[in-house]
Structure 1
Amino acid sequence: MPRQSTTHQFDLFSNPQDPETAQMPPWRALPEETRLTLTKLMVRLILDHVDGECAVQREEADHDA
């Protein structure tokens, strides 16, 4: 028998009026600690992404030489 999941994955591309879709809570409704943690994680994700693009550009430049 398959295990029932107790968590919900937010579907960013679904119809928000669909009752089957888990609704994201409003940002201000989240506890301050959660907002701070999410903000730090998003900043790290963005900076890691930018750093990765810089590394790819450096590698491409090395291949041109």
Structure 2
Amino acid sequence: MTKNKAKIGDRVSFQRKEIIIEGVVGVVRDNSVIVDISMESSQSLHYDTTKTVVKHSNYVVLSSPETS
């Protein structure tokens, strides 16, 4: 989806199980980011946690703390 690598605190959007999810990047790894999502999003995805791993090629950066 994007070639812009997210930074900690960036708001990102990604698709999971045909649902568009937005969240905030908490951790950046070499190949992925760990994103904090809302409780509602985690429940709709049937996750036990509000954190999920997203590959760099599977998200779009919506905003950064510096530009907000």
TM-score in same-fold range (> 0.5): no
Structure ranking higher in strand proportion: 2
Which TM class, normalised by the smaller chain length? under 0.3
* TM value normalised by structure 1: 0.21
Bigger relative contact order, structure 1 or 2 (CA pairs below 8 A, ≥6 apart): 2
